[in-house]
Structure 1
C-alpha cells in the first residue's frame, strides 16, 4: 500500500552535494528524517555560490538546514533535539575508548588461544589478553606522543621529575607487551613491566584517591577524554600482575 505524506510529515532539506564532496551531516539528516517517517524534499546545493547564497538568504552559518511545515529546524544536531534523541557531548567523559581496547584485546587473545590450542579458555589466553591490551593502549599513545606526554606529565610521579620518561613510556609499554606475548627476553620484560606498572599505579592512586584530583587519563593517548581513576589503575595493575606471573613461572 502506498504511504501518503501530509504536509506536516514532509520535510524540506537543503544540503551540500558537490562533485568532490557530499556533506556527511546532510546524508545523516536525510536518513534521520526518513527514519522518523518524513517524506524528504531533497534540495542539493551543488557549488559554493549556491551555498553562500542560501546562507545569506536564510541568515544561517552552516548547512544542512531542514524545514518542517515552513519552520526552520536547523542542522543535524537540531534535528536530533527536535525528535528527542540523544545528542553527543564532545566534552563528555567516557570509558568507551579503553573498554574498546580491552574488548579487542580479549577477542584477539581468545582467538589466538583457539587457533593454537583448540579452545579459547587457556592460561595463555589470559596472558595474551594482558599483553595485547598493553600493545593496543601503547599504539593509541604512539599516534601522538607529544600530546600524550603533555597529559601524562600532569600526574605521573616519575615523568614530573624526569621528562624523557613521558616520551619513552609508550615505547616501553609496547615493547614489554610484545615480549610478554611472545614469552621472550623475560629478563627484560619482567623488570620493565614491574617498573612502569608500579610507578603508574602509585601515580594514579596518589592523584585520584589522595589528592582527589579530576584529571583526564593519558591511557588511550592525548586525544581521549577518559577520566583518570579505576580503569587507569587497572591498566597498571595488569602490567604488574603479568610481570609477577611470569616471574613465578620462571621459579
Structure 2
C-alpha cells in the first residue's frame, strides 16, 4: 500500500460552492414634495396637563346668573294626545261665587251610634304572681289545664286516620281480587281422560314393539344402555296407565 503526500495545493472550498444570487435593489420610497412645507407651517400644540394645582377663583362680577347653571334635564314623554269624537263632554263649571253645598251631617249622632254598636274588647285573664305587681298571662303559663280541654285531645291524628283508610282500601282490593280469582285446580273431563289413556297405551305398544326388536345378545355398552333406557320407559308408561285407570277423577293444578 502506497501513500501520496500532498504538500502544496491552491484549491479553496469556498470557490467551489455556488454563491446565492444578489438581492434586487429596493425602489425608492415615495416622498411628498409638500411634506416639508407642511411641517414648517404646523403650529406646535400645547401639552395637556392635569390642570391647575389650585383652582383660581372668579372675580365677584362673574357670579352665577339665571340660566347659566347646570339644571335638571326635562323628561321627554312619547305620549301623544289623540283627539277623538268618543270622549265624553267636559263638565260645565259652576258659576263663580257659588260653592257646592256640603251635606249636613251630625257627627255627634254618628259617633254615638258607632259607640253603641261597637263590641267591647274581651278581657284577657291575667295573673299577678309577685307583690311588686308582676303580671303574666294565664293562657300558656301552665297554671290552668289547656291541652286536655282541646277538642282533639285523645283522638287519633288526621294523618293517621288517612293512612289507616288507605291501608284498608288496599286490603279490600287484595281480598276482592283473591275472592274473584279463578281456581288453580281444574278437573280433567272423562273424554280427555280416555284420550290420554289411549295415547299412553299406544305409546306403550310402540315402545314394546321396539323393545322386542332388540338383539338377544347385549355384548356392548351401547346395547346395554339402550336396553336399560327402554325398560325404564316401559315401566314408567305402565305406572302412568295404572294410575289413570285406578283414578276416575283427575285434577290438574297450574
- Please classify the TM superposition score into its range, dividing by the shorter chain length: under 0.3
- Return the structure number with greater relative CO, CA threshold 8 A, min gap 6: 1
Which structure's residues are more often helix, by fraction?
1
Which structure's residues are more often strand, by fraction?
1
TM-score (norm 1): 0.19
Larger radius of gyration: 2
TM-score (norm 2): 0.19
